[in-house]
Amino acid sequence: MRTVSDAPSLRAAVRSWRNEGQRIGFVPTMGNLHAGHYALIELARKHADRVVASVFVNPTQFGPGEDFARYPRTLAQDSVGLAEHQCDLLFAPDVETMYPFGPEHAIRIHVPEITDTLEGAHRPGHFDGVATVVAKLFTLVAPDLAVFGRKDWQQLLVVRRLVRELVLPVEILDAPTVREPDGLAMSSRNQYLDTAQRSAAPQMHATLEWMREAFAEGHKREAIERVAWQRLERAGFVPDYVVIRRARDLALPGEDDREKLLALAAARLGATRLIDNLPFD
């Protein structure tokens, strides 16, 4: 696996593969890679001849007081893991390459509507940062397809909207959430948890599963959300939201909605903010 950090080297490598008629798959990440990320690489591999991954801790998607400064940066270890998972090229740019005028002066892409709720409401500006960096990365890598995890469901919807709106020739694939044996969704932020928080953390997934069951049994959405909130609080979480929404646009489900639904939650355990979701059958 080659590692490049500048745009001309990245473009030259991708161009040579494209000239040979090869299909390029792309997995954007912020590093500190775990089995969830490697599952994205493996899915890209199934659909493409070459796989490019990026590692870039994107400053514009972190709000003031969030964990940008302490976000784990483990490039050497990530690069070993990516090579082991048959990634062909690692793009690891610095901030100047991605934001030549500085992050605070960057052009920002705002994806409307879908970003007004849930993560967007609790992390103002977060999805502008995500949409901006994803658009830049797509422009740099020019992949045929890109893979995103379903754990960040709202991000996936934002990226799909971005691609349609900017008419980007990139197919978006989504990969299932990878979980620890006790149900906790894998996340780079799990390593912030102390021992007591780590043993409470699977309660988020357990609560989402309980919501799915309660809904299947015919209980009302509002009542389920209220009890789920209390369950999270009892487990030591401070919830931002725990809700049932339509999967395709995160709108409130109507009575007898035949649409696909999912439960989504975001909550803090101490200083660590965890998110997760669970589709209903």
Annotated catalytic sites, by residue? Answer: 37
Instruction: Answer positive or negative: Cα dihedral of 104, 239, 119, 148.
Output: positive
Spell 150-179 as b/e; 16+ CB within 10 A means b: bbbbbbbbbbbbbbeeeebebebbbbebbb
Residue from the set 78, 88, 152, 276 that interacts with ligand PAF by CB under 6 A:
152
In the complex, the smallest distance separating the C-beta of residue 47 from ligand PAF, rounded to whole angstroms, is 18
Q: Which is nearer to ligand PAF, 55 or 262 (CB)?
A: 55
Between 87 and 130, whose beta carbon lies closer to ligand PAF? 130
Residue 30 contacts ligand PAF per CB under 6 A? yes
End-to-end, the C-alpha distance of the chain in Å comes to 40
Identity of residue 60: T
**Six-digit token pair at 136?**
């830049």
Return the number of the residue (61 or 177) whose C-beta is nearest ligand PAF.
61
Residues 41 to 80: which contact ligand PAF by CB under 6 A? 58, 61
Q: Which is nearer to ligand PAF, 29 or 272 (CB)?
A: 29
Rounded to a whole number of angstroms, the minimum distance from the CB of residue 33 to ligand PAF is: 10
Stretch that binds ligand PAF, among 75-83, 92-100, 107-115, 127-135 (CB under 6 A): 127-135
Q: Which residue has the tokens 């990530």?
A: 78
Per CB under 6 A, 28 contacts ligand PAF: yes
Query: Minimum CB separation from ligand PAF for residue 61, in Å?
Result: 6
The neighbour count for residue 56, using CB atoms within 10 Å, is: 20
- Please tell me whether residue 4 binds ligand PAF under the rule CB under 6 A: no
The span of 25-33, 38-46, 114-122, 164-172 binding ligand PAF (CB under 6 A) equals: 25-33
Sign of CA dihedral 241, 246, 250, 255: negative
Q: Are strands 238-246 and 261-269 parallel, antiparallel or unpaired?
A: antiparallel
Q: Which of 13, 118, 133, 262: binder of ligand PAF (CB under 6 A)?
A: 133
55 exposure class (CB count in 10 Å sphere: 0-12, 13-18, 19+):
buried
The residue to which tokens 């978006």 are assigned: 172
At its nearest, how many Å lie between ligand PAF and the CB of residue 53? 10
Of residues 30 and 87, the one with the C-beta less far from ligand PAF: 30
What Rg value do the Cα atoms of the chain yield, rounded? 19
Q: Which residues bind ligand PAF (CB under 6 A)?
A: 28-30, 58, 61, 130, 133-134, 152, 155
